[in-house]
Structure 1
Amino acid sequence: MLLARLGLRGGEVSALAARRALGHKLLLLGRLLQRFVVFAESSGATFITTEIALAWAMQPAEAQPAQWTNGLAMVRRFARYCSAIDPRTVVPPPDLLPHRYRRPSSPYIYRDEAIIRLIDAAKRLPSTVGLRPQTYATLFGLYAATGMRCNEPLRLDRDDTDLVDSVLTVRDTKFGKSRYVPLHPSTHRPSRSMRPAVTVMPESAERHEISSE
């Protein structure tokens, strides 16, 4: 039993390596899987059981049931992988937590006035060195002006911003592709004001500001 020698942590490393070798990034999944393994090991488990999977998936207690379902689904996939190398592994039944997230039938559209209030509120956020208010105000403005996916502005670098031709380069997005996103002229001033703030920010202060979020 290879997994019995490797332990759950070894199985985690092996499972993630196998998926990433196929081109999957698994950033969020990797963190969730690590949390499950830490939880299982702290509970004294050396292999996956339905009880340990369910106990982890239903945390925190105040989470939405759909979140519990997603957590259990992740453990089930990991358990299927582990079951091939450790026959003690129990793959939890798929119908233990049958809740499903359902998207609203129509999206909520923010009015211009609401967006302005949100950006103004972001500008008043407390900050040690002044980076947080500018960061969030610029971020919300980019969401409103470009329609980018939630995580895409977070990965932008200075070289991805072309204020001369009014275009952003969004790299390595969904399905590993990159694309250009046109910028409305109203975004130029916030983007220009953000650049000097980041450029002159002492590295230690910037790390402290971000880590305090």
Structure 2
Amino acid sequence: MTVVRSVGELRPFARERLAVGAPEAAIALLGSLLRRREPDGTWSVVRIVETEAYREDDAASHSAAGLTPRTAPMFARPGTAYVYRSYGIHWCLNVAAEPPGTGAAVLLRAAVALDGRDVLRERRPTARDDRELLRGPGRLCQALAVTAPEHDGADLLDDEATLQLVDDGYRPGRAEVVVGPRVGVRQAADVPWRFALRDVPEVSGYRRHPRAPRPA
């Protein structure tokens, strides 16, 4: 999968690709590019290789309790960033999906580093190799310096933003996409809304929540 590790000609990511059901948006985001404008004006660029879908009729979703100040970005227009703390430690980046007013978003779980590796490594000094740089949502946010104060509620499709979703034309085929249950959720643990590119080592491992009910 050479294309996963190279960058083609950049173009805007179409908002309408996210104005669909959250699982479909999660698949649409696979293979897309996330880029971060660094303080020196250069860009760090990564390719998204793992996503998870959440929506308001989903017991595992933050939006299941309705619209709150915290979850407001999930109800905003597609492409809005929803950034939250996981267990009070790690930032996690989500992208709002579905039409405005619907509490849906896609968690970005893992990515492949393309440009700006030196900067990403500086922010992730404990990573043993490139595979671990962006393997997991907390590591992804740490490497790209994503935080709620800076990015929560931001429009990731704004070409003036410091954090942007962009497209280089890569569209993985269905045979390249692996589907399975989401990682570490206690409610709706068996809903198959986790999507990843097949045979990419940066994809995180599956861990079931210890208190999730066992499948029937």
TM-score range for the pair, normalised by the shorter chain length: under 0.3
TM-score, normalised with respect to structure 1? 0.22
Return the structure number with greater helix share. 1
Return the structure number with greater strand share. 2
Q: Report the structure number with the largest CA radius of gyration.
A: 1
Structure having greater relative contact order (Cα 8 Å, sep ≥ 6):
2
